Amino acid sequence: MNPLTALFETFGQSIWLDFIRRDLLTEGNLDLMIHADGIRGVTSNPSIFHKAITGTGVYDEAISNHLSSNPGIGTEALFEALAVEDIQTAADILRGVYDASGGTDGFVSLEVSPHLAGDTAGTVAAAHRLWDRVGRPNVMIKVPATAAGIPAIETLIADGINVNATLMFSMGDYEAVASAYLKGLAACADPARVASVASFFVSRVDTAVDRALEEIGTPEALELRGRAAVANAKLVYRRFGEIFHGEAFAPLAARGAHVQRPLWASTSTKNPSYSPVKYVEELIGPETVNTIPLITLEAFRDVGKPQRTVDLDVEAAEEALARIAALGIDLDVITDTLQADGVVAFCQAYDALVKTLERRTKELALG
């Protein structure tokens, strides 16, 4: 059996592809991956679209068509039009997965502008616009779990809009997002029609904590490298079980509401001394999603060993984080910084995309 397909069929974990590009959609490759690798969703972000649109000539014809039909189109409006087309196509390809899952899987995620990360009202308005423009039931609007994003998530869930809550790094982030989801569902006219995932970032935590451990440099500190990120995620998974399989969610479940699955994001391996599938193999379990970039997906197809791991050795995970804290490393400070840096990185990618797209439109206009 393909190790990728075993993740869902045996362990109940959905694999979403952390990549989108027009030729992936138009040449049948996504459809092939759905059937051969068990791909059950697609995620996008400004960095992915930046590489897709500006890194190749795949979009040149579409850009030219938009310029011909609407010569005065602004660069940001042009990007949104291209992105919406891709999201619509991917959603249509995944519609069979969505229908077969009863509306719990088969989603494609589209992010609001990262420049809205501090603007609650702007986020809600942008999410509504994108939701209406895509016009597919299996789209999720990505909203960052910032201080301004949390109330936006609650409002959007109450309005019946699917949300992928993103840029989560800490237990505090997770609990705030889960609470927003529960409050939104309670105010939603038909909670059974709403779906959401809580995107919890993984590998970047190890990158930051490992750096701090190496600065300390003692044998104990060095022995703890590569343990913080998975431990952090395992405790979040345990908290997920307490919230969504406990009394708090029971009344909503009786109304047909779906659990908000944890989604493991940033699961490519940044440290070459670690296994290329570390952040897949060590977080496998039911009612979870892992969004995987192409290089990690191919590595797991080749060498992955599927087995349930997400709820194994949770006490050891607690101990590892306690030992890291005892060394003077404040994980909350690190995760807060990672979220802030993530917003900045997505803003930079978005701005670079707009700048490069503007240059490309001028080149195409000049022939």
Annotated catalytic residue: which of 142, 183, 234, 278? 142
Closest among 117, 95, 92 to 105, alpha carbons compared: 95
Contact, 237 vs 311, CB < 8 A? yes
Q: How open is the CA angle 28-109-246, to the nearest 5 degrees?
A: 125
Residue 367 has what pLDDT? 66
Contact, 229 vs 209, CB < 8 A? yes
Q: Which phi and psi angles does 88 have, rounded to 5°?
A: -60, -45
* 278 a catalytic residue: no
Rounded distance between C-alpha atoms, residue 186 and residue 358, angstroms: 44
Residue 9 has what pLDDT? 96
Q: Where are the domains of the chain?
A: 3-208+227-311+337-365
Residue type, 243: I
CATH topology of domain 3-208+227-311+337-365: TIM Barrel (3.20.20)
Residue 105 has what pLDDT? 98
How far lies 195's CA from each of 14, 145, 324, 344, in Å? 14, 16, 35, 27
How far lies 248's CA from each of 129, 176, 178, 242, in Å? 32, 14, 11, 9
Contact, 189 vs 234, CB < 8 A? no
pLDDT averages per 10-residue partition of the chain, 367 residues = 94 98 95 97 92 85 92 92 97 98 97 97 98 98 98 98 98 98 98 98 98 98 98 98 95 97 97 97 98 97 97 97 98 98 95 91 79
Residue type, 96: G
Q: Which DSSP string corresponds to 79-96? A: HHHHHHHHHHHHHHHTHH
Residue 1 has what pLDDT? 77
Which residues on neighbouring strands pair with residue 262, listed in sequence order?
Answer: 198
Put simply, whether the predicted model's pTM sits higher than 0.85 gets the answer yes
Q: Beta strands 139-144 and 163-168: pairing type? A: parallel
